[in-house]
Amino acid sequence: MHLHRYEKIWLTFGIGSLVIFLTVLGVSAFAFGQQPPSHMAKVDPQNVRDAAPFDEPGLRQINETTYQANIIAMAFTYQPNKIEVPVGSTVRFHVTSSDVVHSFTIPNTNVNFMVTPGHINMAEHTFTEAGSYLVLCNEYCGTGHHYMQMTIEVVE
């Protein structure tokens, strides 16, 4: 088989790029552990209320500026329905569902994730401005989907 010189150059370039790309990806993933946030933490969806941390839904203070919010999503609300943190706080959201798929979306922030039954879905956000933040469900979950919301009060 005859290959034109330019074809050989491009083939070498193409295969070389692929090898470099896969090497960088492999090293960063396996050697440096850079992986997308995993939602591998599991919880029994039938017994959410008996399983830590959802047996005590609500806010827990981790250190001076960090809180963990354990929240159960269900048709058609969140438990708790309102949390309050001081401005500047970082909140780690640990959210699960006791029934179907919901979402946990805080408009105008990067917090926007699906809440899947059986998993502890996590995200973190630092609230640098005081105000009342609405949390919405943006996964259709039934006839009351559009009523499903909660609020986060960020106070001075």
Q: Which residues bind ligand CUA (CB under 6 A)?
A: 102, 137, 139-141, 145, 148
Minimum CB separation from ligand CUA for residue 54, in Å? 17
Bridge partner list, 124: 92
Bridge partner list, 72: 79, 96
Residue with smaller CB distance to ligand CUA, 100 or 122: 100
Distance between CA atoms of 148 and 81, rounded to whole angstroms?
10
Residue with smaller CB distance to ligand CUA, 59 or 139: 139
Residue with smaller CB distance to ligand CUA, 71 or 148: 148
Bridge partner list, 42: 119
Residue with smaller CB distance to ligand CUA, 67 or 104: 104
Minimum CB separation from ligand CUA for residue 140, in Å? 6
Backbone torsions φ then ψ of 30, nearest 5 degrees:
-95, -35
Closest alpha carbon to 97 in 44, 41, 135: 44
Residue with smaller CB distance to ligand CUA, 37 or 144: 144
Minimum CB separation from ligand CUA for residue 59, in Å? 21
Minimum CB separation from ligand CUA for residue 103, in Å? 7
- E strands, the chain, are 58-61, 66-74, 77-79, 82-86, 90-97, 102-105, 112-115, 121-126, 131-136, 149-155
Minimum CB separation from ligand CUA for residue 136, in Å? 8
